[in-house]
Structure formats: structure tokens, C-alpha cells
Amino acid sequence: MKSKILLTALLSVSLMACAQETPKVKHKKTNTSGKSNAQKVKFANATDPICHMPTEPDMKDTAVYKNKTYGFCSTYCKDEFKKNPEKYAQK
């Protein structure tokens, strides 16, 4: 008889522990991973206005002028653009 009592005691303890540890609802889908930050910048300029080479989406030298993002092949071109953005930005 002793062993049966022990067993039921153990069972109830484990059941209670289980009920406590089970998370209530954890079915939320985490869709935050992915596209949110992976958007590639689309430059307003198809070509570098300084040296006239085609811009690439992964160019690191960028300048924002009048809410448009311009891409440049180098910091030199970016600086040249910043010196006189109106001259280069307009078409």
C-alpha cells in the first residue's frame, strides 16, 4: 500500500508541475524575421552623376537630397555631389 500512495503522490505532483509549467498560449507566429530590414535602397539616380558609372543597389556611399537617395561609387563622388547637389540632382 505504501508504494501506491507514493505513486499517486508523485503523479499528482508531476501533474501539478506540468500544469504550472505549460505556457498558456504560445502560438504566436513570429514573422518579424526577414523582409523588414532587408529592403534594398533604390537610388534616385541610375548613374553616378559625377563619374557617370551605373549605380548598384549595394553602394555604400549614399546621399539624401530632397527626400531622394542618391548612390555613388565613392566618397569622392558623394562629396562632389554634396558640394553642388542642385547641379547634379536635376535632370
Which range of residues in 37-45, 60-68, 69-77, 79-87 is near Zn ion by CB under 5 A? 69-77
For Zn ion, give the closer residue by CB, 11 or 54. Answer: 54
Q: How far is CA 45 from CA 35, 50, 54, 69, 74, in A?
A: 24, 11, 9, 8, 14
Q: Which three cell numbers stand for residue 50?
A: 559625377
Q: Quote the least distance from Cβ 47 to Zn ion, whole Å.
A: 9
Distance CA 72, CA 18 (A): 60
Q: Quote the least distance from Cβ 77 to Zn ion, whole Å.
A: 3
Among 48, 78, 80, 81, binds Zn ion (CB under 5 A): 48
